[in-house]
């Protein structure tokens, strides 16, 4: 369903800091999610196809080249082999939710996707550590938007969380939101490095107050990336913020979601915590590089009855 873009709010520390997270209950709830619903084979296929439409198909490697980005974009536009879709009697257009590349590769993605409406996401130049000066990062955001990026994935400075400098965190995210213009802003919390579940909730609320269109778990470059525990806390923060302001903010888990089973567990989380409105690319994405291949192999096995090796489903 269409929704108004999050305009942000003035910094409200009472709303951000007063709520307490029950860590043991959060862990127990998250542990139940993978087995909470019994999913039949037919329903599983539908959920896997839904997951494909939510993937930010990503390449963030030191060996990225124009050719590699071209292959990524071609795969994003045709994510599942045609014979598999025909066998499933799936005859609707199917693409991933977006592609995600480094800032220097945005022009390559824009050229490869010219004439399509597939979103182009890029990470901020401070990715993944967020240890550089702010203004050069903002300048690159403005440049990337001019080059065709429609989504910016920024990384917060974790020091602001550890020192309790919530005003600085709010100002940082707000500056990125301003630099984005019409492009949407995804705020990466790097939840595996925030030390406590309380910090995850607080960083989520502050980032949404500052105008983030999505909150995102991780860069995919940390030792601990997307976990269902962190996702649950972020969903609760999104729900609280929506009740407080009326604005729907998106969720993007990223890093470590590698199998169809993983993807379905996250879909269950979002469905149960936020509802069906969030099960679309405007409000939910999965940041992944290998997940699409895993889903394609699962679908191949469904239609053929045979397992496929990873190299049978290359990026292009």
The one catalytic residue among 213, 252, 262, 298? 252
The one catalytic residue among 75, 174, 186, 216? 216
Residue whose entry in the numeric block shows the structure tokens 């983030």:
212
**CA-closest candidate to residue 94, choices 108, 84, 109:** 84
Q: How far apart are CA 119 and CA 100, in angstroms?
A: 9
Residue whose entry in the numeric block shows the structure tokens 């490095």:
193
Residues 6 or more apart whose CB falls under 8 angstroms from that of 279 comprise 50, 54, 267, 270, 271
Q: How far apart are CA 234 and CA 190, in angstroms?
A: 12
Task: Name the burial class of residue 250, with classes exposed (0-12), middle (13-18) and buried (19+) by CB atoms within 10 angstroms of its CB.
Answer: buried
The one catalytic residue among 56, 75, 108, 153? 153
Q: Which two tokens stand for residue 117?
A: 């409406």
**Catalytic site includes residue 252:** yes
What single DSSP character describes residue 183?
S
**Catalytic site includes residue 216:** yes
Residue whose entry in the numeric block shows the structure tokens 């901020």:
124
Please identify every residue annotated as catalytic.
153, 216, 252
């Amino acid at each position: 369903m269409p929704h108004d873009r999050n305009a942000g709010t003035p910094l409200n520390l009472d709303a951000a800091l007063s709520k307490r997270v029950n860590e043991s209950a959060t862990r127990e709830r998250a542990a139940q999610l993978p087995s909470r619903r019994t999913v039949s084979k037919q329903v599983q296929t539908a959920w896997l196809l839904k997951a494909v439409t939510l993937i930010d198909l990503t390449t963030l490697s030191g060996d990225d080249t124009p050719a590699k980005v071209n292959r990524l974009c071609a795969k994003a536009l045709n994510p599942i082999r045609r014979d598999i879709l025909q066998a499933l009697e799936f005859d609707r257009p199917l693409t991933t939710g977006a592609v995600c590349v480094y800032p220097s590769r945005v022009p390559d993605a824009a050229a490869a996707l010219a004439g399509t409406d597939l979103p182009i996401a890029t990470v901020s130049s401070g990715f993944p550590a967020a240890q550089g000066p702010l203004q050069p990062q903002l300048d690159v955001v403005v440049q990337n938007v001019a080059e065709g990026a429609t989504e910016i994935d920024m990384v917060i400075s974790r020091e602001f969380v550890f020192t309790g400098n919530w005003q600085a965190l709010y100002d940082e995210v707000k500056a990125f939101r301003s630099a984005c213009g019409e492009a949407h802003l995804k705020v990466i919390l790097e939840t595996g490095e925030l030390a406590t579940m309380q910090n995850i909730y607080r960083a989520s609320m502050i980032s949404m107050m500052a105008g983030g269109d999505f909150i995102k778990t991780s860069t995919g470059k940390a030792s601990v990336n997307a976990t269902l525990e962190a996702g649950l806390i972020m969903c609760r923060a999104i729900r609280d913020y929506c009740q407080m302001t009326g604005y729907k903010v998106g969720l993007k888990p990223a890093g470590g979601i590698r199998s169809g089973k993983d993807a379905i567990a996250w879909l269950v989380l979002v469905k149960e915590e936020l509802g069906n409105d969030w099960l679309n690319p405007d409000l939910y994405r999965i940041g992944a590089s290998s997940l699409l291949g895993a889903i394609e192999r699962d679908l191949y096995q469904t239609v053929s009855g045979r397992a496929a090796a990873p190299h049978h489903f290359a990026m292009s």
